[in-house]
Amino acid sequence: MGKFTYDSSISTGFEDRALAHLQAVILAKVRRGEGFCLGWKDDVSLGGGRTSVYLNARSTISFAYDTARTPALNPLWLNALTRAANSPQGLSLLPEPRASQRGESGGREPAGILASIEA
């Protein structure tokens, strides 16, 4: 379980693979100077509520992983997370699309999706 930390005072855990995808989307938006909200459900031990933070280029954020292995990024998941980050509701963790959800493209997304995340 990795950890996302905001402003050294707010943190939450995400599975390492999910955190890597969130990191790619978050850093792409921050590099472009785009502010947005990131939200998640709090653990029951914290009351089971929700937390939302506003991220921008001045935010202090960190990503800590349990493993040193960097997972391969799923372009479909990056695309879905980016659409969420660009929505009025903001970014939240969505389920990873399965291969059967890739439609007629045979699992391949247009080359521009990863490029737009990495830009």
- Check: pTM over 0.85? Answer yes or no: no
Higher pLDDT residue, 41 or 113?
41
pLDDT at 111: 44
pLDDT digits (tens, 9 = 90+) for 40-74: 999 888 888 999 999 999 999 999 999 999 999 99
The helix/strand/coil state of 71 is coil
Cα torsion 16, 6, 96, 76: sign: negative
| Residue labelled with tokens 């653990």 | 43
Distance from C-alpha of 29 to C-alpha of 36, rounded to nearest angstrom: 8
Q: 103: which strand partners? A: none
